[in-house]
Chain A
């Protein structure tokens, strides 16, 4: 096929198309972009941007990067799992599979779009932190911030697709992502500053999962008391492992067609029964 569109052009076209769909779905845009911002503003109101003794920084200096990570994880993990599963329920994935678009380009477009949305939400969050709450950004840790962000986003995008591959419907994708992300967020220092009083096993659990390895180094890179470049190689390694496992499982179990039990199909078979 001499005129086959180039993969680069296809990838960019898919990314733009996924972006468009995201920004036209008010619920997804709200929960990814505005919800973490709201929590940040509310926390700042409640705690009054006080000085946190254990960490040596102000409330905003902690929560701006923590909520930025939460937004990035929503944009990748939750967003990819839920939209992909719903698109499968609606038959959109089946339609895509019947076009000459390579499957990897479709998935690549979704991941790239989710990454761009994550970048946008992190930039919005940090900008509001800097402008309205006096959050400081340090040039020497910026490389670490960027690398941690990219590895984290890659890890959670791959886990989002893994969830989409394992659940049978969009509804269960929503349930699974919420039931995994929210408890982990509480024990990983997203909503609550880690306390010395918490039982040690809780910390062990948090250490097994990748969220803490995203939040902790990312927040630490905005703490002036931490010396050095801000790279946390152990955390980067843990996230990379989770990401690799996620993509392997996603590829192994992914289906482009809704399973017979999902809501769309059962509606359809009801209709067919009615026709007979």
Chain B
């Protein structure tokens, strides 16, 4: 069942076309990531789905509701983690969770949420005394305090240190384990790779690619790159034909059959007693694909 379904979504601000016919759908229990440079339209799309902004045209259904009307029952079933931390700084962590929790018909216990986001030591501290990362984690707790079916995470880990990010990711993984649906926007490719079942790349108000993190932009069918430092490399008898060398001496082999080619190359090197310095076998990363897809957008 589709929790979110969007077809031909358009948004104009006067003559500016922020979204030009965006279509996608997200199933229950899925983590769907929207990637794209600043100003590409991903925040606009998310804000339309959250009910914060009205669309110019197109069909949108979220949990069976039209978010343009944004009725109370709709807002009761979604959780929003905003890009910017926006909480009354005079309240304590526990007070904020209590007051926001009281607005929903279902709610997760405050103590459990504080534990999940790792703020137990700060439970009774005023929010103004929290660090930036701690505020973001509180923001995450407030986004799920109403035990929502669908959670919008707008760049949830921007500014996190690596351990806080891991912690936030495990919170998201727990949500998914509970059958919740997550719409994520992020700048971090490793975050999309780690969390998302499917990703879509938005550039200039259009979806330019969509798929699993593994298959995005033809990643799974593209050539594997085998690289190593040439050293006293001698092309004589080199077993693979599609090889090139940079002036700095980095040899790159583009291979569609990497297992066989690596075997051939290493056999060739061992025979000649050559050590292949910095030998590396890699497919283009999600980041490579992303940068490729969004190059025109910048």
Contacts and interface: CB of A to CB of B under 8 A. Distances in A.
A91 B50 contact: no
Contact of A100 (B50, B76, B87): B76
Interface of B: 37-38, 50-52, 72-73, 75-76, 78, 80, 82, 84-88, 90-91, 95, 99-100, 102-106, 142, 146, 298
A12 to B, nearest CB: 10
A148 B100 CA distance: 35
A97 B51 CA distance: 9
29 contacts: A1-B76, A1-B105, A2-B105, A5-B102, A5-B103, A5-B104, A17-B91, A17-B99, A25-B90, A91-B82, A91-B84, A92-B86, A97-B52, A98-B51, A98-B52, A98-B75, A98-B78, A98-B80, A98-B82, A99-B103, A99-B104, A100-B103, A100-B104, A101-B103, A257-B52, A264-B84, A272-B38, A275-B38, A276-B38
A20 B95 contact: yes
A270 interface: no
Contacts of A56: none
A24 B90 contact: yes
A4 B72 contact: yes
A5 B52 contact: no
A264 B100 CA distance: 23
- Interface residue range, chain A: 20 to 34
Interface of B is mostly: loop
A3 B106 CA distance: 7
Contacts of A97: 52
Nearest to B158: A275
Nearest to B78: A98
Given A4-B105, A20-B95, A100 B86 contact: no
Contact of B75 (A5, A21, A100, A272): A100
A100 B146 contact: yes
A91 B103 contact: no
Interface string A86-100: 010011101101111
A103 to B, nearest CB: 10
Contacts of A4: 72, 76, 105
Contacts of B72: 1, 4, 100, 102
Contact of A20 (B37, B91, B100): B91
A99 B90 contact: no
B84 A268 contact: yes
A92 B103 contact: no
A21 B103 contact: no
Interface string A254-276: 00010000001000100010011
A13 interface: yes
Interface string A1-28: 1111100011001000100110011000
B93 to A, nearest CB: 14
Contacts of A99: 75, 100, 103-104, 146
A25 B90 CA distance: 7
A97 to B, nearest CB: 7
Contacts of B51: 98
A25 B95 CA distance: 16
